[in-house]
Amino acid sequence: MNYYNEIKNKLIDNEVYSKVKDYSKERHKVITYFEIGKLITEAGGKYGDNIIEEYSKKLVIEVGKKYNRRTLFRMKQFYNRFNNTKVSTLWTQLTWSHLRLLLNLEIDSMNYYIKVIINKRLSVRELEFKIKSNEYERLPVETKNKLINEDRVEVKDLIPNPILIKNRNNLEIVTEKVLQKLILEDVESFMNELGNSFSFIGSEYKIKIGDKFNYIDLLFYNIKYKCYVVVELKVTELKKEHTGQIMTYMNYIDKNIKTIEEKNTVGIIICKQDNEYVIKYCSDDRIISREYELV
């Protein structure tokens, strides 16, 4: 086989295709680069690693400047990473720009982000932020194991620890009100931190228990999992009385607001410092705690 001519013809074909069939050009490009990566790998095995240097010099002249040594190396890297049978086949739905950001990740992390890109329709910039903020690494170990084993996950499983909260004005967090203010300034970003399919219902959500009014710090609804999510904010270490408070709010929502078709309410306590024993001995496994970190 003449590897160079095969590679050259595929690149020329892709250049033509990208101008004629705009609706599917990105998928064609990704598949073409994968096939070229395979050819480069095979050619390197037969003629040596310098083949990339040799081919790139000719392709830059005969096809286009963008097909330099670096680009060919990425195609080879792309093939070798995504040819692994453990990598999700959903990668064929991504753009080349997305895939380039995934090339150096571990397989489990890569699979996680592939699904997130598709489910949330992430832009390249949004994906870059998630990778830089170590979103996958911040997931609980139990969640990672569920994802690897393809077990069923619940809404609380996908909430990272710590939760990143934007603090553009470098405010000093001394009260729950200040922390709440930061979240409400960019509630969409906060919902993205929590996971997929969240919608915001309200802050200081008023409920009446007996003859007294109580106020839930933040109330959300998860459309995918069909459940309400109560969020309570604490700027101290997690304490046992915090679980009692949020449990009361969750039970109120379940008995007075949720319908029979919806799942039981989930509770998230966001605190300055976690205490694993408080949650460990909590009587309700719907409650989780997460520390917050200002960014």
Q: What is the CATH number of the domain that holds 67?
A: 1.10.10
Q: What are phi and psi of 223, to 5 degrees?
A: -70, -40
78 and 182 assigned to the same domain: no
Domain identity same for 53 and 165: no
217 shares a domain with 87: no
181 and 128 share a domain? no
Is the overall model pTM greater than 0.85, yes or no? yes
Domain contains 149 = no
pLDDT at 24: 73
Asked if 121 and 202 sit in the same domain, the reply is: no
- Does 96 fall in a domain? yes
pLDDT at 284 (0 to 100): 87
Count of structural domains, the chain: 2
CA distance 157 to 39: 41
**Residues 77, 110: one domain?**
yes
Residues 170, 107 share a domain: no
In a domain, 72, yes or no: yes
pLDDT at 162: 97
Which residues does the chain have with pLDDT short of 70?
A: 20-23
pLDDT in the model for residue 153: 92
Contacts 24+ apart (CB under 8 A), 70-77: 72/36, 72/40, 74/100, 74/103, 75/33, 75/34, 75/36, 75/37, 75/40, 76/37, 76/40, 76/41, 76/44, 76/52, 77/37, 77/103
Q: What is the pLDDT of residue 276?
A: 84
Q: Within this chain, do residues 195 and 103 fall inside the same structural domain, yes or no?
A: no
Same domain (yes/no): 75, 11: yes
CATH classification at residue 238: 3.40.1350.10
Residue 283 has a pLDDT of 73
In this predicted structure, what is the pLDDT of residue 206? Answer: 97
Model pLDDT, residue 203: 97
- Pick from 98, 132, 166: which residue ends a domain? 132
Are 229 and 271 members of one domain? yes
pLDDT attached to residue 135: 96
Among 100, 132, 164, the domain-final residue is 132
Looking at the structure, do residues 74 and 183 belong to the same domain, yes or no? no
Both 110 and 80 in one domain: the answer is yes
Residue 279: which domain range? 154-294
